[in-house]
Structure 1
Amino acid sequence: MAATSDDRGPLRGALVYRQSAWTRLTHWLWAISLFFLLLTGLQIFNAHPTLYIGDQSGFSFDNAVLSMRAENTPDGPAGYTTIFGHRFDTTGVFGLSEWNGQLYQRGFPEWATIPSYGDLATGRVIHFFFAWLLVGTLLVWLIASLANGHFRRDIVPNGRDMRNLGRDIADHIRLRFHHMRDYSVLQKLAYASVLVIMLPLMILTGLGMSPGMNAALPWLPELLGGRQTARTIHFAVMVLLVGFFVVHILMILAAGPLNEMRSIVTGWYRTGPAPGHSEGEE
């Protein structure tokens, strides 16, 4: 990409065109889609707040790996979460939470779901709309990224990147960021894990839970270990994506939010100072 020199000289480095219009557009469409998918997904989960392994579930099966429930105790109603047989008191957050001044049995609290009240039908409609928007955006991004070289240049780590992995990890631990046009190896690995592994897996497991797709592609649920396993994987990938988002935001704040936001809004990114100079303020 072409670079332009800043009129303040080499202390501030150069402005480079780092993010194409396709990259910026798909980034924000993903952000919007994943926001609604997360909150409507939690609404759908609340309809049956238990995850299983296998193809079936019910009272005759002992295959639950996570559940959020409530029960009456001598001290009053209590919510609890069970993970792989280990039970935790989560009253007020998971299993039992307050809404309009009253306690209700529900997996996730009302502030974490869309709609906030229990409405499975509306949650599913919104969820499926943004799911297909995510699928379409991912396909557009893949085609554009293969065409303009973004996938090869910025997503797939090469041999030189992997040789720098140890140093890049050490620099991130010390919060030492090198403002370059190219992504660091940790950035490439993080973005590749989301775009090449997590999002496709989220889409596949979503299709694996669909009765219509089960009829069209009966091998898909079996490939995923059963419809209940697909639902559990779907939930686990959601947790990983939330973790990625939290780390992503923290890294933006640590690396310089104005510069990072300018890059993903306008495409232009301020690189670090030229070799031999100290880095000035952004």
Structure 2
Amino acid sequence: MTHNGEGLEQKSKGPLVYRQSIWTRLTHWTWAICLFFLLLSGLQIFNAHPALYIGQQSGFEFDNAVLRIGAVNTPEGPRGQTTVFGQTFDTTGVLGMSGSAEAPQYTGFPGAVTIPSFRDLATGRVVHFFFGWIFVAALFIWFLASVINGHLRRDIIPKGQDIAGLPADMADHARFRFQHRRRYSPLQKLSYFTVFFVLFPLIVLTGLTMSPGMNATAPWLLDLFGGRQTARTIHFAVMVLLVLFFIVHVIMVVLAGPLNELRSMITGWYRTSPGTAAEQGDRP
């Protein structure tokens, strides 16, 4: 006999399904580690020249900067200043000038968010390139495995019904109504598709475009992105978009049930919503 309390508890749980393959899980955590080091080492590299331009050229004689971070002297003393598309903002304590009054840091981004935490462009580049190639290798492994096991076709590439169901799914997410199913929702599919097939390729290709060696091997990259400076600006913008995606991704994981979501990405097993039938191919 099953006690009433136990019966209610069992009814309150949906089926446990195998959602994430070992390849998805391994590459997911590899990307998380790589992107952490790529972001912080990338900011170290950016600090060597904290400005972004559009076009082939840059320098003091050009006025094509779309972003500039630095410190300026004012009647009140040095202040951090950030200029975005001609609009200037005081960013003292965050960008351009940070640290304590006794030991101010005159860098674009503060040392707390760079690797290394002190000015060391050479080490920053070594760290950046090391994790960059690991990132690319993980992307290749994920793509190959996802084609073979059907993850790409089944869970990433949006289909007609996904596009049709997108408005309703967006409304559900806005109201924090989450359906825990074996397959990804339309909004998840569109988000992951954008990351894997737009943002990831863009950040890799623009990174390669900034390499003099790649300029000699594949000069068409310079034409594709409108020059090294434009590629650097796109690279930075994509980094910002990936950071925003990460923030939203973590928020969604917390709101949807962090233990269930983390179990799925660690063990592969995922608890679906009550009344959700296990789809074909799922294991109980």
Structure-2 separation of matches of 1:174 and 1:28: 29
Deviations 1:77-101 (A, max 9, x none): 1010000000000011101111694
Structure-2 separation of matches of 1:274 and 1:59: 65
Q: What letter corresponds to residue 125 of structure 1 in structure 2?
A: V
Residues 118 and 263 of structure 1, relative CA distance in 2, 3 Å threshold: same
Structure-2 separation of matches of 1:234 and 1:179: 34
Contact in 2 for aligned 1:66/1:83 (Cα 8 Å): yes
Q: Provide the residue aligned with 1:241 in structure 2.
A: 242
Q: Provide the residue aligned with 1:158 in structure 2.
A: 159
Q: Provide the residue aligned with 1:105 in structure 2.
A: 106
Deviations 1:91-143 (A, max 9, x none): 11101111694112100011110100000000000000000000000000000
Structure-2 separation of matches of 1:144 and 1:109: 39
Q: Provide the residue aligned with 1:280 in structure 2.
A: none
Q: Provide the residue aligned with 2:194 in structure 1.
A: 193
Q: What letter corresponds to residue 131 of structure 2 in structure 1?
A: F
Structure-1 separation of matches of 2:100 and 2:28: 34
Q: Provide the residue aligned with 2:251 in structure 1.
A: 250
Q: Provide the residue aligned with 1:14 in structure 2.
A: 15
Q: Provide the residue aligned with 2:270 in structure 1.
A: 269
Structure-2 separation of matches of 1:258 and 1:60: 55
Q: Provide the residue aligned with 1:116 in structure 2.
A: 117
Deviation, 1:9, is 3.4
Deviations 1:10-40 (A, max 9, x none): 4201100000000000000000000000000
Q: What letter corresponds to residue 178 of structure 1 in structure 2?
A: Q
Deviations 1:202-241 (A, max 9, x none): 0000000000100111121121011000000000000000
Q: Provide the residue aligned with 1:50 in structure 2.
A: 51
Deviation, 1:165, is 0.7
Which runs of at least 4 in structure 1 moved beyond 4 Å after TM superposition? none
Q: Provide the residue aligned with 2:3 in structure 1.
A: none
Structure-2 separation of matches of 1:243 and 1:204: 20
Structure 1 spans left out of the alignment, 5+ residues: 1-5, 276-282
Q: What is the TM-score normalised by the length of structure 2?
A: 0.93
Structure 2 spans left out of the alignment, 5+ residues: 1-5, 277-284
Structure-2 separation of matches of 1:238 and 1:67: 17
Percent identity over the alignment is 64
Q: Provide the residue aligned with 2:178 in structure 1.
A: 177
1:232 aligns with 2:233: yes
Q: What letter corresponds to residue 36 of structure 1 in structure 2?
A: F
Structure-2 separation of matches of 1:274 and 1:11: 9
Q: Provide the residue aligned with 2:88 in structure 1.
A: 87
Look up the SS of the partner of 2:181 in the other structure.
Answer: coil
Q: Provide the residue aligned with 1:210 in structure 2.
A: 211
RMSD: 1.6
Structure-2 separation of matches of 1:73 and 1:162: 53
Look up the SS of the partner of 1:81 in the other structure.
Answer: strand
Q: Provide the residue aligned with 2:261 in structure 1.
A: 260
Structure-1 separation of matches of 2:95 and 2:147: 43
Structure-2 separation of matches of 1:153 and 1:100: 55
Contact in 2 for aligned 1:99/1:110 (Cα 8 Å): no
Structure-1 separation of matches of 2:162 and 2:224: 33
Structure-1 separation of matches of 2:30 and 2:59: 38
Structure-1 separation of matches of 2:128 and 2:115: 9
Structure-2 separation of matches of 1:162 and 1:83: 35
Q: Provide the residue aligned with 1:3 in structure 2.
A: none
Structure-1 separation of matches of 2:105 and 2:77: 13
Structure-2 separation of matches of 1:45 and 1:205: 14
Structure-2 separation of matches of 1:236 and 1:118: 23
Look up the SS of the partner of 1:40 in the other structure.
Answer: helix
Q: Provide the residue aligned with 1:72 in structure 2.
A: 73
